[in-house]
Structure 1
Amino acid sequence: MYQDPIVEEIHKIRQEYSRSFNHDLKALFADLQKQQAESGRKVVNLSRRSSLTASEPGQVTESDEDVTDRSHH
């Protein structure tokens, strides 16, 4: 079976990252949240339960009523 070297490298990096936190999912998640906060990038929540909002104050929001469910088209 063909093994893509790029995919293999990604798997190796992911394993090393997980191992560095002793495969502790909560610790991994906390680290990813920290990296996200430190990045300075805007983060948009696209979940159906919340409005479509950017993480920075003063952004225009879209209410849930304005969102069309297109999941079954």
Structure 2
Amino acid sequence: MYQDEIVEEIHRIREEYSCSFNHDLKAIFADLQKQQAEGGREVVSLSRKPGLTTRWSGRVREIGEDAKDTSRRST
């Protein structure tokens, strides 16, 4: 069976990292949060903005008085 050297290296590094925290997920999560805070990069939220619905929901988007329900076809 083919074994990719890069994938094997990633698995090894991940196992070493996990072992360094005695496989404690809470400790690993805390460390990752610490690294994120110290990294200096901007963290953005990708959650939906309130008041907007998905395109296919059939509900009107709250964009003003001119909003109309486009889920119904006119024949």
Match of 1:26 in 2: 26
Q: Which residue type is aligned with residue 5 of structure 1?
A: E
Q: How many residues align?
A: 56
Q: CA deviation at 1:36?
A: 0.1
* Paired residue secondary structure (2:23): coil
RMSD of equivalent CA atoms: 1.9
The C-alpha deviation readout for 1:8-54, integer Å capped at 9, x for no partner, is: 00000000000000000000000000000000001112245xxxxxx
Q: Which has the higher helix share?
A: 1
Structure 1 unaligned segments of length 5 or more: list them: 49-62
Q: How does 1:1-73 map to 2 (within 5 A)?
A: 1-48=1-48, 63-66=49-52, 68=54
**Structure number with larger C-alpha Rg:** 2
Structure 2 unaligned segments of length 5 or more: list them: 57-75
* Runs of 4+ displaced beyond 6 Å: none
Q: 1:46 to 1:20 in 2, by over 3 A?
A: same
Q: Which residue type is aligned with residue 6 of structure 1?
A: I
After TM superposition, the score normalised by the length of structure 2 is: 0.65
